A and B are shown apart, each in its own frame.
Chain A
């Protein structure tokens, strides 16, 4: 254990490298505090008298606690936790007294290197962290060896990391993946999950997170509806103040007046709901028969008797075609109400789209066409819409996700006097081939519109489908959406690609694949991938894990053993060849060539002379000064012609 200034300097450099990426992640004041402690320690390297005494250390600790409290009000959560670790590391730097302090610092550094993945998972960061891992390991090597030079330590550390990589990759692929809690995956500020709530305010969300958390599973008896028919009905929003959409209390009452008339294709299925905070049961539109414990509210949404704290299972039958019949006056009033008179710009738009001509179907088509032909973008990172979200979205920004499209659509319908409302729920779902059921995840959350047309009743219209056909036509590919971050469906710019653009597109594809295969490798894609390899149960996985780690370790061990034998010295190689020729006689480990030779001579008296000669030459070449080329030649020749 050597705590030389040189080693400490190296330790400080590696600590600095590890903490550097957090400059973006933790509050600046805390990072500056850490930098101060770090710089202090660096200065104290040449002048140990600068190190703080006990009281100053206590004071610094109090300052650290105060800063942490001011910035985070506690220690829970990703940001506060990381800040805590970084600050603690800075304080510990001033307190290196014994070797175990250095070990503590290094282990803490490894933790901090790992926390950085809670913020950023890019490929560049991954390589950077790998690099600092090597630096940390070489610090450990330097501390534990008096003599090892820096370059050798670095090389050894790199080799150690390289050797560990295959096993890390294998464990990454095979080890059962956990669903990380949402607070871990996503930033804590300004980010909404697509999980459903009892209100909707699309204009004030600047970033929509997609959680791969499971919402519910559906097992169909018989036919499965096509992806574009998989609308899972949730809360219905009729009330709006122009920005925020909420349920109307009338929807929560059971409809007494008229029953839905069902026709066409029916689907029988079992819903397996994950625990959630609402009493909502997401049935396929439109549910006709369901368990007695469930009830249907006035907006045709299924409601469970109480909030399910555990998984709950329900039998439901839904019909593809339905007619909800007449609308009561009360309902009409609720679903046509505007918070305030529409602005002139909106009125002008509705007029342009022939909303006041009386042909409702024509207006709907025109509006959808408007969405389709104007440069509307589907994005998960929409700009903030301000005071007049509908107007801003439709006429200025034209970027948003399903809620924007649905709410704007409903708003315009109401201006034109058509009863309309927003329906929230889930759309799509991915078939799990192994389990034979559909998996619907939080990322499948969706919002669409419903308009009431005379003679047809409530009719579903999904304006988002017009913008981003992929969103509806296919299964929602969560991986793809996260990978692209912003799903923008503007036409591709074609033309000659310059090398720069080629490089960029190459980089994009590398980055995409990194996202697709590494970052988004969740338990769903894992089970999918592993089942293709024939690994279906958790038991198979563990067996695979054990076998895989075993194989890789033995391969590495084999290479290491081989390379011990594979010395560069051709003389040694030749002698090893000679030994092989003496098979089945084997040289023991630790047996000198001379000793072995004597044993061989006893075993093979006929070849004793040659064996002795070769061994003598070998020792002459290897252990005596200045052999001649002639002797080397002779040795080669004798080994070559030697036969038992």
Chain B
């Protein structure tokens, strides 16, 4: 497993250049059974990242381009009258895939957004009284344009909470940019990628992550973080209990990726910005700046 993990990272890094930390976080998010939100301007490789991950994990992949006129039925699917059987049959929408890339999610109306987000939360879809289970594993990568761009509907805070992590990709550095310019087209490269981990293995990994040990000393630290966000006055509102669970889960996945059986404070610190950055609000906009007071002021024993 160790070598296959290394290979996984290597393959992903060969496609998306100079973003190894973001790739690690994205994979961590997948291991922790959470969904990922990528917030950045168009063209920095959000789609490429999603496509690469789908390929590496051998998952069925579907991309949904969110537009301002997209309807819930366009995402979930809908019932269509079948003349032959003389009844309505449900046609599965693009959501029924293992990996779904919800592109530019904040271009759509809140109604369409919530159709997706509710499916993410419950892992199932109910249409006209009938419940349809989504495939497993089920992983959503949503991308979002920065809110100040024209024609966007920002996702409400309550729904942002459904994403385990929010990351920013950012521009590649100079060297990576040059390699990118000199290299082949990305989607050609993706086509050539080999699957590294199959869905069965992924399920095992996700199970192993949930078994990672968190000592009471570590839980003290996580609680100190939660209390700090609620009481220090740095934030308009603190982390919810769900956010606390998410933080622990992500830290466990991170510990797993470091091949450790127990979570240490550094694991928590590594995932804190992507996990907490979109769940609390301070004067800052950058995730790292938002969580900086937490990292600087809470003492660890």
**Are A595 and B266 in touch, CB under 8 angstroms?**
yes
From the candidates B215, B265, B295, name the one contacting A593 in the complex (CB within 8 A): B265
Mask of B263-301 contacts with A, CB within 8 angstroms, 1/0 = 111100100000000000000000000000011111111
Mask of B115-141 contacts with A, CB within 8 angstroms, 1/0 = 000000000000000000000000000
> Which chain A residues border B266 with CB–CB below 8 Å?
592, 594-595
A592-B266, A594-B264 known; A623 vs B300 contact (CB < 8 Å): no
**Are B215 and A625 in touch, CB under 8 angstroms?**
yes
**Are A624 and B215 in touch, CB under 8 angstroms?**
yes
Instruction: Please provide the chain A residues from 614 to 638 with a CB less than 8 Å away from any CB of chain B in the complex.
Output: 619, 622-625
B275, chain A: closest CB distance, angstroms: 16
A316, chain B: closest CB distance, angstroms: 66
Instruction: Please provide the chain A residues from 81 to 136 with a CB less than 8 Å away from any CB of chain B in the complex.
Output: none
Please measure, in the bound complex, the distance between the C-alpha atom of A595 and the C-alpha atom of B215, giving whole angstroms: 19
Give the A-B pair count, Cβ closer than 8 A.
51
From the candidates A564, A590, A592, A624, name the one contacting B213 in the complex (CB within 8 A): A624
> Which chain A residues border B296 with CB–CB below 8 Å?
588-590
- In the assembled complex, B234 has its CB within 8 A of some CB on chain A: no
A589-B296, A624-B213 known; A619 vs B264 contact (CB < 8 Å): yes
> Which chain A residues border B265 with CB–CB below 8 Å?
592-594, 623
Instruction: Please provide the chain A residues from 560 to 584 with a CB less than 8 Å away from any CB of chain B in the complex.
Output: 564, 567, 569, 572, 575
**Are A564 and B299 in touch, CB under 8 angstroms?**
yes
A623-B215, A624-B213, A624-B215 known; A593 vs B263 contact (CB < 8 Å): no
Chain B: which residue is nearest A572 at the CB level? B301
Please measure, in the bound complex, the distance between the C-alpha atom of A501 and the C-alpha atom of B261, giving whole angstroms: 70
- In the assembled complex, B245 has its CB within 8 A of some CB on chain A: no
A622-B217, A623-B217, A624-B215 known; A592 vs B264 contact (CB < 8 Å): yes
From the candidates B263, B269, B297, name the one contacting A623 in the complex (CB within 8 A): B263
A619-B264, A623-B264, A624-B262 known; A590 vs B217 contact (CB < 8 Å): no
A343, chain B: closest CB distance, angstroms: 81
From the candidates B218, B263, B297, name the one contacting A590 in the complex (CB within 8 A): B297
- In the assembled complex, A591 has its CB within 8 A of some CB on chain B: yes
Instruction: Please provide the chain B residues from 77 to 93 with a CB less than 8 Å away from any CB of chain A in the complex.
Output: none
Please measure, in the bound complex, the distance between the C-alpha atom of A590 and the C-alpha atom of B297, giving whole angstroms: 6
Please measure, in the bound complex, the distance between the C-alpha atom of A438 and the C-alpha atom of B296, giving whole angstroms: 63
A622-B215, A624-B213, A625-B215 known; A593 vs B300 contact (CB < 8 Å): yes
Count residues of B near A (Cβ-Cβ below 8 Å).
Answer: 19
**Are B262 and A623 in touch, CB under 8 angstroms?**
yes
Mask of A574-612 contacts with B, CB within 8 angstroms, 1/0 = 010000000000001111111100000000000000000
**Which of B213, B269, B300 counts the most A-chain CB atoms under 10 A from its CB?**
B300
A567-B301, A572-B301, A623-B264 known; A592 vs B215 contact (CB < 8 Å): no
Please measure, in the bound complex, the distance between the C-alpha atom of A625 and the C-alpha atom of B264, giving whole angstroms: 12
> Which chain A residues border B218 with CB–CB below 8 Å?
623
A398, chain B: closest CB distance, angstroms: 69
Chain B: which residue is nearest A622 at the CB level? B217
**Are B297 and A625 in touch, CB under 8 angstroms?**
no
> Which chain A residues border B298 with CB–CB below 8 Å?
589-590
Chain A: which residue is nearest B218 at the CB level? A623
Please measure, in the bound complex, the distance between the C-alpha atom of A623 and the C-alpha atom of B265, giving whole angstroms: 9
Please measure, in the bound complex, the distance between the C-alpha atom of A590 and the C-alpha atom of B262, giving whole angstroms: 20
B221, chain A: closest CB distance, angstroms: 9
> Which chain B residues border A572 with CB–CB below 8 Å?
301
**Are B295 and A590 in touch, CB under 8 angstroms?**
yes
Mask of B237-280 contacts with A, CB within 8 angstroms, 1/0 = 00000000000000000000000011111100100000000000
Chain A: which residue is nearest B296 at the CB level? A590
Chain A: which residue is nearest B299 at the CB level? A589
Please measure, in the bound complex, the distance between the C-alpha atom of A572 and the C-alpha atom of B300, giving whole angstroms: 10
**Are B300 and A591 in touch, CB under 8 angstroms?**
yes
Please measure, in the bound complex, the distance between the C-alpha atom of A594 and the C-alpha atom of B265, giving whole angstroms: 9
Chain B: which residue is nearest A576 at the CB level? B301
Please measure, in the bound complex, the distance between the C-alpha atom of A160 and the C-alpha atom of B262, giving whole angstroms: 38
**Are A569 and B301 in touch, CB under 8 angstroms?**
yes
> Which chain B residues border A575 with CB–CB below 8 Å?
301
**Are A590 and B215 in touch, CB under 8 angstroms?**
no
A623-B215, A625-B213 known; A592 vs B269 contact (CB < 8 Å): yes
A465, chain B: closest CB distance, angstroms: 68
B231, chain A: closest CB distance, angstroms: 10
> Which chain B residues border A622 with CB–CB below 8 Å?
215, 217, 301
> Which chain B residues border A590 with CB–CB below 8 Å?
294-300
Instruction: Please provide the chain A residues from 512 to 563 with a CB less than 8 Å away from any CB of chain B in the complex.
Output: none
A623, chain B: closest CB distance, angstroms: 5
Chain A: which residue is nearest B269 at the CB level? A592
Chain B: which residue is nearest A594 at the CB level? B266
A585, chain B: closest CB distance, angstroms: 17
> Which chain B residues border A567 with CB–CB below 8 Å?
301
> Which chain A residues border B264 with CB–CB below 8 Å?
592, 594, 619, 623
B228, chain A: closest CB distance, angstroms: 10
B63, chain A: closest CB distance, angstroms: 39
Please measure, in the bound complex, the distance between the C-alpha atom of A575 and the C-alpha atom of B299, giving whole angstroms: 14
A611, chain B: closest CB distance, angstroms: 16
> Which chain B residues border A591 with CB–CB below 8 Å?
300
* A-binding residues in B (CB < 8 A): 213, 215, 217-218, 261-266, 269, 294-301
* Other contacts beyond A572-B301, A625-B262: 14, CB < 8 A: A567-B301, A589-B297, A589-B298, A591-B300, A592-B266, A619-B264, A622-B215, A622-B301, A623-B213, A623-B215, A623-B218, A623-B264, A624-B215, A624-B261
* B-binding residues in A (CB < 8 A): 564, 567, 569, 572, 575, 588-595, 619, 622-625
A sample of 21 cross-chain residue pairs with beta-carbon separation below 8 angstroms, ordered by A number, consists of A567-B301, A569-B217, A569-B301, A588-B296, A589-B296, A591-B300, A592-B264, A592-B269, A594-B266, A595-B266, A619-B264, A622-B215, A622-B301, A623-B213, A623-B217, A623-B218, A623-B262, A623-B263, A623-B264, A623-B265, A624-B213
The list of the 10 closest CB pairs from A to B, nearest first, reads A592-B265, A592-B266, A624-B262, A572-B301, A623-B215, A594-B266, A590-B296, A625-B213, A623-B262, A623-B264
